[in-house]
Amino acid sequence: MTVNLLNYDGKGLVDFCAGIGEKPFRARQLLRWIHQVGTADFAVMSDLAKSLREKLATKATIELPPITSDYEAADGTRKWLLAVGSGNGIETVFIPEVNRGTLCVSSQVGCALACAFCSTGMQGFNRNLTVAEIIGQLWIANNALGVNASNDTGEQSNKAVTNVVMMGMGEPLANFDNVVTALDLMLDDHAYGLSRRRVTVSTSGLVPAIDRLRERCPVALAVSLHAPNDVLRDQLVPINKKYPIKELLAACQRYLPDAPRDFVTFEYVMLDGVNDTVAHAKELAKLVKDTPCKFNLIPFNTFPGIGFKRSTPEAVHVFRDVLMQAGYVTTVRKTRGDDIAAACGQLAGQVKDKTRRTTGLQSRVCG
């Protein structure tokens, strides 16, 4: 039986190599070939002994999720639909900017948290993604964008993806072990070598998992807040009933001393007449006064079967101004890739719902 080496971080590859009678330095070589050079072919790994390459060919694979579709928007945004078996699909989006390239990565097929405004939440949940399916999204993006080294020395080239946000389909911290192993690969200098400051995990508020992330792999933290009080957040983000805002903010405060950034990003989807008034903004500013943070306001992108509407531009700007006047850095997320349905709220995966919530085909937003 063969194993997929994309499921292993550095330590996992050391253990794998030991199991086939190879020394630890072989694991570092494999990391470079797989993740820096971006090859799935053992035969081209020229600094491995021929006997090892032959052994790998019989005992291991480097198997990636197949690409079902690949679209590029007028603004350069790129979207891939990846097949993950049993009729399920996930989407990955690359957003190019002047000084960086950000990849929005999925962590689950569907989502069980059922946030009221989230299209993936309407689909229900099928399963967690494997490490290979998570890190494979980064591998595929770098290779598709044509920036991996193509020589036979294993030398790393500049990557198109400089930032990763775990903001795609699913709740990353509900797939903790696989997500953290993928994070280890993103941060490993022998693999992708990304800075902790440039890797962000977004959560709807799984408090115990935030504490685990702080202890295990503290990267930049984003929290999907979306409401300034428990009554409203209970309706919009049902996990709040288990971990209310006071507990969530306390977890954020515990996280920050170990985090690569000295603030938490609070994501806030702007819903017309629901959470976007001046009163809401003032309540929000008061709520987080003891938590170093910045705000990312997200214009809502509607989808079939949902009753919410996007806040007006005027409401968004007034809301932003109230927060800024209270001293908070506040940005309004730009809509990118909407002509290929890659903007927030427009991703279209495929989920065979094991929770039997719905048979819809829309997937969650980046964010």
Cβ distance 228 to 283 under 8 Å? yes
Q: Which residues neighbour 168 within 8 Å (Cβ) at sequence distance 6 or greater?
A: 90, 91, 92, 93, 104, 105, 106, 107, 137, 347, 363, 364, 366
Whole-angstrom distance, CA of residue 313 vs CA of residue 201: 28
Q: Determine whether 344 is an active site residue.
A: yes
Bridge partners of 220, per DSSP, are 200
Catalytic residue, candidates 91, 133, 171, 267 = 91
Q: Is 283 a catalytic residue?
A: no
Catalytic residue among 111, 217, 252, 344: 344
Q: Is 39 helix (H, G, I), strand (E, B) or coil?
A: coil
Cα–Cα nearest to 200, from 191, 187, 215, 211: 187
Q: Which residues contact 170 (CB under 8 A, 6 or more apart)?
A: 106, 107, 108, 109, 110, 111, 120, 128, 129, 364
Who contacts 318 (Cβ-Cβ below 8 Å, separation ≥6)? Answer: 278, 281
Q: Which residues are catalytic?
A: 91, 344
